[in-house]
Structure 1
Amino acid sequence: MQQRPSARASVLETVVLGVTALIPTLAQGAILRRPRVVRLAARFDTNRSAHRTLARLRRRHGAGPVSVAVPGRRVLLLLSPEDARHMFTATPATLTPTAREKARGLRHFEPDGVLVSAGEVRAERRAFNEAVLDWGAPAHRLFPALTPRIRAEAQALLDLHRGSGRPLDWDDFSAAFWRIIRRVVLGDAARDDHRITDLLAALRADADWLSLRRPKERTREAFLAGVRAYVDRAEPDSLAALVAGTPCTEGAEPAGQIPYWLFAYDAAAIATYCALALLASHPEHAERVHTEIDGAEPDRPATADALPLLRACVLESLRLWPTSPAVLRETTAETTWHNGTTTPAGTGVVFYSSFFHRDARHLPYADQFEPDAWLDGRNQDNWALAPFGRGPAQCPAQDLVLCTAATFLAALLRDHRALLLLPRRPLVPPAPLPRTIDHTALRFALTPK
């Protein structure tokens, strides 16, 4: 059978794609958000413009993948859930999650992480991640000990909000969530260790420039030394303690996996904050959440089957406003796609989350807040959706993150209702939800029930 190459975007289409999708995505910061650029992107709803560009490509070239030429690189842009499924389920022998662009960025702060690894070493590190993060378990083994800490940080945030008389804003919410992250990952001693996360933020800011900036060796070493120190102390009931005590192969680099957990957990803070905004602007769902919270045992640790609606709200937040705007892969062998076209090894593959997650062709509720779709099975086999990735490379911390987010939201809302102090673009139905959001602009008034 004769092989057939994928459709190619024209020069004009490539330029428009760069202006409407690539540049706005990179400018906002794929590794560390740049608040001023995020604010500007939300003002002009740049994700909506990117969506229109991809929809035009699909109308002209069909649902098969489209090849796009960028300087020094051939990139394949996926446009159908069928091809997304192939990308997510393919083995590393065909498609590797270690795309070179991703690796260049992440090496700034996680040179030994699983996502910058390949081959046998990657398999060893992935297995270690799954073991420590309890991938596939009903609930993470540490959650009974972590639940009171999460609730304590929620109470501290409520006390701050009540004492200051100010609206709840992103800075205070993020600071509280980072205290949770440090306690969960590194232990209670790290609760107020702002230096280690400041070092990580500096490295992430440089990582946004990919290979255009050289890694700051001294900053990276100081950060990694701080991480290793917490593993050496191995404070009980922390992921650092599990890292220290989990058997592994020589190539697993246990402490080297922690930087990515810290980085990825930060995205959970954004998703949780946006979920709060969705609940504050959709009172019918907020009432159901309060009923769920009131029916839960207040002292019971959250598990994978606890607070299902709150977990679904966080997943819906990630669908509406993905914290990973694009998922990257790279072909390691000649690859055949759903429409019969083929691409050679060494081709970058892009799943543009902001397009797929809001594609009305495959999601009738694309621009609506529909958390029930995560509960009634509508989203289960929809390969247009990948809030935590899909397939063998799916994030092994998904359940831990969702339990953390749901527990934190439940503690904030148990005795309070959230009123969204409207941003520039209202989130109240029946208007379609914006495709780009500035989470840093959201403000809330928390009032007693």
Structure 2
Amino acid sequence: MTATSTGAKSLPRASTPDTLRAAAIAIAPMLAQGVIARRPRMVELAGRLGTDRRSVRLLQEFRRRYGPGPLRLRVPFRSVALVLSPEHVHRVLDGSPEPFALANVEKRGALNHFQPRGVLVSHGANRADRRRFNEDVLDTGNQVHRMADRLVGKAGEEADELLRTAESRNSLVWNDFAQAWRRAIRRIVLGDAARDDRELTALLTELRYDANWAYLRPKRGDVRERFTRRLQEYLDAAEPGSLAELVAAAPSSAETAPVEQVPQWLFASDPAGMATYRALALLAAHPDQAGRVRAELTDRDLARPQDLPLTRASVLESVRLWPTTAVVLRDSTTETEWDAGTLPAGTATLILSSFFHRDDEVLPQADRFDPQAWLDGRAEQDWSLFPFGGGPGTCPGRELVLFTASTVLGKLLRRHDFRLSAPALRPEALPAALNPFAVRFAVSAR
């Protein structure tokens, strides 16, 4: 052990070879796939190479060798620590934003490309103000959004159109699902006038690909200006029955920057769509669970808002098995004391979701589909599992995302059968990665 300037012992530090292994096996593949916007070819390559499974095994090895952590890495010019135990996940997430700030340096470098005043990269009074605004509009904490009677119709109509396309082709592929999903999200967030505004989504996607490079790529002010101007027009219109209507009505200050909160809702919808599509794959591979979901849908009027606990739990399991947020980042604002030593202020703490969600040394259901865990309280009490983050930094759109996803999934499954054409999923040992771009279904009416 080494000592800090105050005389306290410092936490274990990985050797240089182990730091390089962490970079090559756990961090580089995650960055290559795209943290803000997925790169389909790299997602496919990572799946073929089994990088997620190798990452889990490496961090398990580190925990056995160095102890429960956090484990400091030998990174030049930056204090970085890997979180290795569920108890420490709890401490970091529950201790946000003080002393573990959500406005991590690397995260700011990424999101500054299109939302420099977004809540995820804010701290102090500004964060509190922007968080309050997000929670107000997104109705955080309510399983069924207060505007659900109008939002459910938008999601349902796009699901119905998707089913017509799938029936005509006897198949469903990612591109068709993604287009329907994005239409629904644009209508929910901005109004029906934005339904076919694919250019808005394309501009945001350009900025997200830039954001993958964080500080390494110059900001494109012209693209951001075009995107923001277009977005502001929809917010100014405040179409009734959309979140834009609530944005216009929500209290805001000079620092709230509503137009910079909305991109998060739009861009987070892509991983939410992936989670929904993967949930469909899980249910196709587990006919017994699909039957239970259909039983939940029986006699439900899906044209009206419905709380669908098992359908929602299936989506949560999809995010647990294949996390859409690869890494949770926090920066410590002060020196912090741990059982094994001290971390200096300004340390970047890395919590790799795919490690904790698939840690078979801790989770008996690590590689199995177990939606019941989200219904009987096991998952909610387990700090190994944080599909939407946790503590004060929990995603404010969690409930709205799950409501939208379960509505769409319910519409798809109620009167149609989906059979996986590719890939084959083994229920007893689900793969560590599932490339949504390659998932295909055969579709037939029941």
| One-letter amino acid of the counterpart of residue 355, structure 2 | F
- The answer to whether 1:299 aligns with 2:299 is no
Counterpart residue type for residue 38 of structure 2: R
Whole-Å Cα distance in 1 between the matches of residues 54 and 145 of structure 2? 40
Residue 13 of structure 2, aligned match among 8, 13, 21: 8
1:70 to partner: Cα distance:
2.1
Between the aligned partners of 2:178 and 2:74, the Cα distance in structure 1 is 38
Q: Give the aligned partner of residue 371 of structure 1.
A: 371
Asked if residue 183 in structure 1 is aligned to residue 187 in structure 2, the reply is yes
Q: Is the Cα–Cα contact under 8 Å of residues 72 and 82 in structure 2 kept in the other structure?
A: yes
TM-score normalized with structure 2 length:
0.97
1:120 to 114, 122, 125: 125
2:101 to 96, 99, 113: 96
Structure 2: segments with no counterpart, 5+ residues: 1-5
How far the C-alpha of 1:373 sits from its partner, in A, is: 0.4
| 8 Å Cα contact 2:187-2:193 kept in structure 1 | yes
Q: Is 2:157 the counterpart of 1:152?
A: yes
Q: Residues 282 and 428 of structure 1 are in contact (CA less than 8 Å); yes or no, is this contact kept in structure 2?
A: no
Task: Give the superposition deviation at 1:429.
Answer: 2.2
2:331–2:348 CA contact under 8 A, matched in 1: yes
SS in 2 for 1:420: strand
TM-score (norm 1): 0.96
| Number of the residue aligned with 1:360 | 360
In structure 1, the residue matched to 2:435 is: 438
Stretch of structure 1 that moved more, 204-213 or 87-96: 87-96
Asked whether 1:225 is paired with 2:229, we answer: yes
Do 2:285 and 2:420's aligned partners in 1 also have CA atoms closer than 8 Å? yes
Q: 1:62 — aligned with what?
A: 67
For 1:157 and 1:72, the matched residues in 2 are separated by 50
2:145 corresponding residue in structure 1: 140
Q: For residue 296 of structure 1, report the CA deviation from its aligned partner.
A: 2.2
CA deviation profile, 1:382-439 (whole Å, cap 9, x unmatched): 111110000001001101000000000111111101101131xx31222x11111211
Q: Map 1:233-248; keep pairs closer than 5 Å.
A: 233-248=237-252
Cα distance, 1:88 vs structure 2: 0.5
1:322 is matched with: 323
Q: 1:200 aligned to 2:235?
A: no
| CA shift digits 1:39-66 (9 cap, x unpaired) | 1111122100111110110010011210
Cα distance in 1, alignment partners of residues 119 and 385 from structure 2? 23
1:209 is matched with which residue?
213
Listed one character per residue, the Cα deviations across residues 334-380 of structure 1 (whole Å, up to 9, x for unaligned) are: 1123x242101110001100000011232110000000000011112
Alignment of 1:410-425 (within 5 A): 410-423=410-423
1:259 partnered with 2:263: yes
Verify the 8 A CA contact 2:25 2:51 in the aligned structure 1: yes
Judge conservation of contact 1:318–1:387 (CA < 8 Å) in 2. Answer: yes
The 1-side partners of 2:43 and 2:294 are apart by: 31
Q: Distance in 1 between matches of 2:369 and 2:104?
A: 32
Match of 2:135 in 1: 130
SS of aligned partner of 1:354: helix
Does residue 34 in structure 1 map to residue 39 in structure 2? yes
Q: Is the 8 A contact 1:227 1:255 kept in 2?
A: yes
Paired position in structure 1 for 2:3 = none
Taking the aligned partners of 2:98 and 2:85, their CA distance within structure 1 comes to 22
2: CA distance, partners of 1:243 / 1:112: 16
Specify whether residues 402 and 91 from structure 1 end up closer, same or farther in structure 2 by C-alpha distance, changes over 3 A only. Answer: closer
* Superposed CA RMSD: 1.2
Q: Which runs of 4+ in 1 moved over 4 A?
A: none
Does the residue aligned with 1:382 lie in a helix, a strand or coil? Answer: coil
**In 2, Cα distance between the equivalents of 1:247 and 1:385?**
34
Matched, 1:386 2:391: no
Whether 2:292 is the aligned partner of 1:273: answer no
Give 1:116 deviation, angstroms.
Answer: 1.6
One-letter code of the match for 1:429? P
Spell out the pairing of 1:333-348 with structure 2 (5 A cutoff).
Answer: 333-337=334-338, 339-348=339-348
Q: Identity over aligned residues, as a percent? A: 48
Secondary structure (helix, strand or coil) at the match of 1:76 reads strand
1:397-412 matched pairs, under 5 angstroms: 397-412=397-412
Instruction: Return the offset for 1:101.
Output: 0.3
2:129 and 2:319 map into 1 onto residues whose CA distance is 29
Report matched runs for 1:11-22 at 5 Å. 11-22=16-27
What secondary structure does 1:5 align onto? Answer: coil
Q: CA separation in 2, counterparts of 1:447 and 1:71?
A: 56
> Secondary structure of 1:324's match?
coil
Query: How many residues in Structure 1 have an aligned counterpart in Structure 2?
Result: 441
For the residues of structure 2 that align with 1:32 and 1:208, how far apart are their CA atoms?
7
- 3-state SS of paired residue (2:396): coil
Q: Which residue of 1 aligns with 2:55?
A: 50
SS at structure 2 position matched to 1:252: coil
Residue 138 of structure 1 deviates from its aligned partner by 4.3
Amino acid across the alignment from 2:311: L
8 Å contact kept, 1:417–1:446: yes
Structure 1, unmatched stretches of 5+, are none
Contact residue 170 and residue 443 of structure 2 kept, 8 A: no
Question: What's the secondary structure of 2:271's corresponding residue?
Answer: helix
